[in-house]
Amino acid sequence: MRHLGWKLAIGIATTFFCLAAPPSSMAVPYYTATYVGESGAVWYSDGVVTNKATGATFPYAPTTYVSVDSQPAGYFDGLPTKQVDQGSFIKIPTTYQMRPEEMNGSGLVVGTIPNAPGYNPWVYQALVYTVRQADGSFGGSGMLADEHESYYGLPQLSDTNQILINRVHAGWNLYDVKTRVETSIGNLIPPDLLAKYGLTRNDVPAYGATVSIDGRGDLMVDLPKGDGSGQDVYILTPPGLAAPAPVPEPSVLWIAAAAVAGLGFRARRRRDG
């Protein structure tokens, strides 16, 4: 298990963020893998993943995102703050507040905050998170990355307050806000499944897998075929949750119903005859 991005410099003054690295001894159980299909045949729409070749569909409900810009005045007044020195020659201690970038329906807010002194401290932004409590205050805050160049884009969130972040030098990692444990995606995939594709847990970040997360914390990941013909798509389900069962498309169900009706009609004709 890897714990990445915890490079908080000693000596930088802070009025709020007090971070500790996740316990390295904590083991994370493997996720349950469900085969969806070859990547070229897999489509996602309206909370459902569909294998167009077989007609099977899998539930993959999207996370509930809440618009940051649509919140009323004062909604984010209690966001975390941090004090850094502003100015090139004369250093003026200045307190800055976290800028919210995204938020889920469970109150998890991810945003940025200055992390180093300078003429414009916003040039050196840390990626941070906090959780809005029932009384409107914010707590349970922490840092995801100490500079914006160490990760790609904004992380993805689940409704269960997990953060999926794509790190520049470490690939996709899953951070759990509750336990403060960050785990490489390669450490969540069952070893026997990785072996099927000739991979190890360290190979997953290296080949640049496409990964996403849904509302309940399921992950969707593609694994490369050994012959170079493409990728296979899997849904990875966290321990304690039931893996998604494939459901035939309505057209497939109609054909099956028609077949059953036909068998019943033939049996009735024999009986009447």
Of 8-22, 71-85, 172-186, the one with minimum mean pLDDT is: 8-22
- DSSP strand E in the chain: where? 32-38, 42-45, 48-51, 56-59, 65-66, 81-86, 92-97, 99-104, 108-114, 125-132, 138-145, 156-157, 162-167, 171-176, 181-184, 211-213, 219-224, 231-237, 247-248
Tell me what percent of the residues of the chain surpass a pLDDT of 90: 67
d(CA 56, CA 168): 35
- Which residue has better confidence, 7 or 98? 98
Confidence band for 89, pLDDT divided at 50, 70 and 90: confident
- Which residue has better confidence, 104 or 170? 104
- Give the CA angle between residues 63, 65, 71 to the nearest 5°: 160
- Which residue has better confidence, 111 or 264? 111
User: pTM for this structure?
Assistant: 0.81
Tally Cβ neighbours within 10 Å of residue 50: 22
Give the pLDDT score at 180.
95
Give the pLDDT score at 209.
76
Confidence band for 87, pLDDT divided at 50, 70 and 90: confident
d(CA 238, CA 241): 6
**What would the pLDDT profile of 13-34 be if each residue is shown by its tens digit?**
334 554 434 333 356 799 999 9
Amino acid code (one letter) for 157: L
Q: What is the arithmetic mean of pLDDT over 240-258?
A: 67
Confidence band for 79, pLDDT divided at 50, 70 and 90: very high
Give the pLDDT score at 10.
27
Mean pLDDT of the chain: 84
Give the pLDDT score at 272.
54
Please state whether 171 falls in left (phi above 0), alpha (psi between -120 and 50) or beta. Answer: left
Tell me what percent of the residues of the chain surpass a pLDDT of 70: 80
**What would the pLDDT profile of 121-159 be if each residue is shown by its tens digit?**
899 999 999 999 999 999 999 999 999 899 999 999 999
